[in-house]
C-alpha cells in the first residue's frame, strides 16, 4: 500500500508500550481495499518518506537536449553520454547477487557495474553497483542530474539555459 497524506499525530499506549502513528490519507478509495487485505497481518514493512512530484516531461526533454549537444561535441551517441551522466550524477544502489544472476541483473538495470566478489554466509556472491534510469527520478533527483549535465556542458563550451532560466524551470518542477 502506498499513498500520499500527512502524519497527524503519535500516541503512546502505556499498557502495551506501542507507539501508534496516525496518518491522514488523500486516496481514500484506494486505501480502504488495501487496508482490508492487510489489517490482520502480524508484521508489515512500513516506510514514510517526504513526498516529491515525479520529474516533469519538460525536465526530461531538457536533459535529452543537453545530452545530444554533448554527444555532438564528443562525436558519440546520446545514449552513451546518458549512461556516463547517470554514473556521475544519478541515483544508484548496491546489491549482492549470486554469480549466475549477474547477467540477469544487468538486463534489469539501466547501468550496472560489478564491484567485486564477496562471501555471504559461506556463499560466493557478486556485489554490484546499479544505476536507476532517470524515468524513476523525482523532481529533486532529476534536478541533481540536470545540474551535473549542465556543468559538463559548460566545461565543453556548450550553451545552456541561464541560471535564471534554469531557476525558473526548477521552480516549475517544484525544486528549490
pLDDT tens-place string over residues 105-150 = 998 888 899 999 999 899 999 999 999 999 888 888 999 999 999 9
Where exactly are the structural domains of the chain?
1-51, 57-173
Confidence at 54, pLDDT banded by 50, 70, 90:
low
pLDDT of residue 56: 60
Instruction: Answer yes or no: are the C-beta atoms of 173 and 56 closer than 8 Å.
Output: yes
- Under DSSP, the state recorded for 23 is E
pTM of model > 0.85: no
Cβ pair 53, 138 in contact under 8 A: yes
Residue of higher predicted confidence among 65 and 35? 65
- Helices assigned H by DSSP within 12-162: 28-38, 57-74, 78-89, 102-108, 139-155
Name, in order, each residue with C-beta under 8 angstroms of 93's C-beta and a sequence gap of 6 or more: 129, 130, 132
Looking at residue 55, its pLDDT comes to 57
Are 88 and 134 in contact, with CB atoms under 8 Å apart? no
Lowest mean pLDDT: which of 42-56, 83-97, 102-116? 42-56
pLDDT score at 52: 60
pLDDT of residue 94: 95
Q: What pLDDT, on the 0 to 100 scale, is given for residue 153?
A: 97
- What is the pLDDT, as a whole number, of residue 79? 96
Amino acid at each position: 500500500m502506498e499513498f500520499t497524506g500527512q502524519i497527524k499525530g503519535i500516541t503512546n499506549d502505556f499498557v502495551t508500550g506501542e507507539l501508534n502513528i496516525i496518518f491522514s490519507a488523500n486516496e481514500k478509495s484506494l486505501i480502504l481495499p488495501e487496508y482490508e487485505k492487510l489489517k490482520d497481518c502480524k508484521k508489515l514493512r512500513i516506510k514514510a518518506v517526504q513526498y516529491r512530484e515525479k520529474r516533469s516531461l519538460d525536465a526530461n526533454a531538457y536533459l535529452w537536449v543537453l545530452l545530444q549537444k554533448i554527444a555532438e561535441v564528443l562525436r558519440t551517441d546520446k545514449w552513451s553520454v546518458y549512461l556516463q551522466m547517470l554514473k556521475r550524477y544519478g541515483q544508484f544502489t548496491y546489491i549482492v547477487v549470486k554469480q549466475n544472476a549477474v547477467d540477469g541483473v544487468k538486463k534489469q538495470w539501466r547501468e550496472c557495474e560489478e564491484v567485486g566478489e564477496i562471501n555471504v554466509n559461506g556463499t560466493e556472491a557478486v556485489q554490484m553497483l546499479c544505476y536507476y534510469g532517470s524515468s524513476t527520478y523525482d523532481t529533486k533527483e532529476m534536478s541533481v542530474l540536470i545540474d551535473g549535465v549542465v556543468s559538463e556542458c559548460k566545461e565543453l563550451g556548450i550553451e545552456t539555459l541561464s541560471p535564471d532560466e534554469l531557476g525558473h524551470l526548477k521552480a516549475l518542477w517544484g525544486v528549490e
